[in-house]
A and B are shown apart, each in its own frame.
Chain A
C-alpha cells in the first residue's frame, strides 16, 4: 500500500457508508471487508506552541488491543513509530524511550513538553476495493471518530482511499465516483483539525508573538488597547502551565507578556485615560518581580550542561551538589510563584485589567495609530541612542544594564506596531537591534550568574557538608562565565556603532515614517 491518499468526510449520517460506497462503485469494483473493525483511542500530542504542527508533523499516542504506540507522521510521508511504554503526558521528548522517534522529537521540541492537544475514540473498518479480477486496487478506510477532548462529540464518518502500488489511476477513478455521491465531501479536514474544531479550536492557534492587526488610521488608544488585550491573552494562556510547571517556556512567555505590558504602560501612558497606567504599573511590577527568581534559576539549569562541559580544571560530576542545590531552590521558588498565581490578588488583577481594557473607548481627540507608534518608537529609539552613546570603556555595568532595558523597550514597541510597517523593513530593523540586545543580554546574564554562583557557594558552605571539589568546580564555572562576560563587554562598542550608524538611523526613521495605511 502506498501512493496518494484521497480523504473524504461523509455528511449524510442516515446511510451506512459501506453500502453507499458499494452502490457508487458497482459494477466495476467490489467492496470486500478486509480486517475486523477495531477501536482505538487516539491522543494527539504537541507542544503548547504547536512546534510539531508548524513543522508539518502530527504525533499521536494510539492505544487499542495491542501495546500503546506513538506515531509521528508528516505530510511528506515521513512516519516514525515507537512503543509508548506507559508514557505519561505532559512529558519532555528527552524522557521518551531512546530511538529515532525521540531523536526526531528532541530536535523539534527542545525545552517544550509534549502535551495532549485532543483526544478521540476511533473505530476503523477497512475494505478492499477490487477490480473484476478480484485484485485489490485500493484500500478504503472508514473511521468513526468520537471526540473526547476538547469537547465530547460524534464526528461525521471519515473515508480514505489509498491506492495499491501501480493502481493509482484506478484509485483516482474510485475517488471521483465517491465524490459524485450526495453527502461525500472531498478533502475532509485532517483528523486532528476535525477533533479540535469540536471545541472551536484549530491547530497552531497559540503564538507568543504580538500578532494584532492594526490600521494606521485607527485611534492610537484603541491600537494600544488591542496590543494590551493580546498581551493579557498570552499572559492568561500561560498561567496554568506555569502553575503546573509543565515546562520552562510557560513562565518565559508569561514573563515576557508582563514585561511587554509594563513597557506599553510606560511608553503609551499618554494614550490611555489619565491615571490608568499609574494605577496598573505597580501591579505589573509586582507580577514581574514574582517571576524573576524562578526564571533566573531556570536559565541556570537550562545552561547547566553547556557550562559543565566547559570546565577545565574540574569534572562535570563535581558540580552535582551545585545542581542539586539549584534544583531544590527552584522547587521552593516555583511553589512560591504558583501560590501567587493562584492568589486572589493575581485573579483580581487579571479581571480588573481586562475590564479596564474592555471599557476603553476612542477619545474625542488624540493621535491615530501611526502617529502614536511613531512617537512611542521614536522616543524609545532616541533613548537607546542617547544612553548608548554615553557609554565608554570606563562606564559601570549599571549603565549597560540600563541600556539593555531601553533596548527591550524599543524592541517591544517595534513588535506592538509591527502590522503597521513594511514587513522586510521591519524585520531588518529588529535584526539590527537584536545584535545589540544579544551582546547586552550575554553581558548582564553572565554578571548575574557569576554573582549567583558566589552567593550560592556561600550559602552551601554555611549549610555545611559541601565537598571542596564542588566549590572548586563552581569557581571554574564562574571563571568561564567571567570570560564570556568580558568577551561581550569587548564586543559592545562595535555592536553599538553598527546600530547607531548613520545608514541604520536613516533606515529606522524611514521605517517609522512609512506606516502603511
Chain B
C-alpha cells in the first residue's frame, strides 16, 4: 500500500482537486484506493457527496477507540472509498498532541488497511503543524501543488527544508505547477523553467480552468463529467507521472 499526501504549506493551491482527480484515476486504473479527507473544511468529502461526519469525531479515530475501517464510506466509483472529514478535525493537532509518539500515530492507524487498499491519498489542510508532521511521516510520496509565482517557489523550498529536517522516515517529494494562468507571462515562464531545473517538480501541470472549479457544482471528479477536456487530460498526464514515481 502506497501512501500519497497532497500537501502544501499554502492554502488554495489545488490540493483537494488534485487528490480527488488522482484518486479517481488511480481507481479507474484498477487500484483499490482510499482518499482520506483530513481537512475540516471537508471539500473532498463534499465533492464525493458524502456527509462530513465521523462517529466519535477525530478523537475517536486518532485514539483508536473507533476503527478507521468502520468510518470509511464507498464513493459512487468502483474501487474508490473515502474517509470523510469531520468538523472536529480542526482539533487534530491537539488530539495528536495527547497521544504517545504523535508524529507516528497516523502511519500506525493506516497500517491495518494495507490488505484492503493499494493506494491511500491523504488530503491535508495547509500549514505546518503536528498533523502535517504526522502526514509526512506516514506518506511515501508528497504531492505538492504550487502556483508558479516567485513566492510559491519560495514556499516549495521551505517545504523541502521541512521534509529534510524530519527525523526518521522522509517521504519523497513531487511538486507540480497548479492553477497556471496562461495569460500571465510569469506563470508560463516559471511553469516551463521549474520542471527543467528541479527533479522534484513534475513535467505535467494543471492549468487554471473553470471546469476544475465546476467540480464543486457537479460534485464529481472532472474526468467523469468532462473526460475529453484539457482539465481531464492534464490530470491524466499528472497521474501517469505520479504512478511512475509511486512505483
Contacts and interface: CB of A to CB of B under 8 A. Distances in A.
A135 B48 CA distance: 8
Interface stretch (A160-168, A231-239, A373-381, A403-411): A160-168
Interface string A1-26: 11000000000000000000000000
A165 B219 contact: no
Given A1-B78, A165-B81, A134 B49 contact: yes
Nearest to B70: A166
Contacts of B76: 128, 135-136, 164
Nearest to A137: B74
Contact of B49 (A1, A2, A135, A166): A135
B73 A166 contact: yes
B20 to A, nearest CB: 15
Given A133-B49, A134-B49, A135-B50, A166 B74 contact: yes
Interface in B185-204: none
A134 B72 CA distance: 18
Contacts of A2: 74
Interface string B63-101: 000000001111010100100000000000000000000
Nearest to B46: A133
B154 interface: no
Contacts of B50: 133, 135
Contacts of B219: 134
B51 A166 contact: no
Interface residues of A, number: 11
A2 B80 CA distance: 12
A131 to B, nearest CB: 8
A2 B71 CA distance: 15
Contacts of A133: 49-51
A166 B71 CA distance: 7
Nearest to B218: A134
A128 B74 CA distance: 13
Interface string A111-128: 000000000000000001
Nearest to B82: A166
A390 B53 CA distance: 83
A237 B38 CA distance: 64
A129 B64 CA distance: 32
A165 B74 contact: yes
Contacts of A165: 72-74, 81
A166 B45 CA distance: 14
Nearest to A135: B49
Nearest to B220: A134
B112 to A, nearest CB: 16
Contacts of A136: 74, 76
Interface in A145-172: 164-167
Nearest to A136: B76
A136 B48 CA distance: 10
B228 to A, nearest CB: 20
Given A1-B78, A134-B219, A167 B73 contact: yes
A162 to B, nearest CB: 10
Contacts of A128: 76
A483 B203 CA distance: 74
Residue from A1, A2, A135, A136 having most chain B Cβ neighbours under 10 A = A135
A167 B53 CA distance: 13
Contacts of A167: 73-74
Nearest to B81: A165
A393 to B, nearest CB: 61
Nearest to B219: A134
A167 B73 CA distance: 7
A133 B73 CA distance: 14
A2 to B, nearest CB: 7
A1 B51 contact: no
A133 B76 CA distance: 12
Interface in A283-326: none
Interface in A171-221: none
Interface string B32-51: 00000000000000001111
Interface string B217-241: 0010000000000000000000000
B56 to A, nearest CB: 15
The 4 A-B pairs at the shortest CB distance, nearest first, are namely A165-B74, A166-B73, A135-B49, A164-B74
22 contacts: A1-B74, A1-B78, A128-B76, A133-B50, A134-B49, A134-B219, A135-B48, A135-B49, A135-B50, A136-B74, A136-B76, A164-B74, A164-B76, A165-B72, A165-B73, A165-B74, A165-B81, A166-B71, A166-B72, A166-B73, A166-B74, A167-B73
Given A136-B74, A165-B73, A165-B81, 8 more contacts: A2-B74, A133-B49, A135-B48, A135-B49, A136-B76, A164-B73, A165-B74, A166-B74
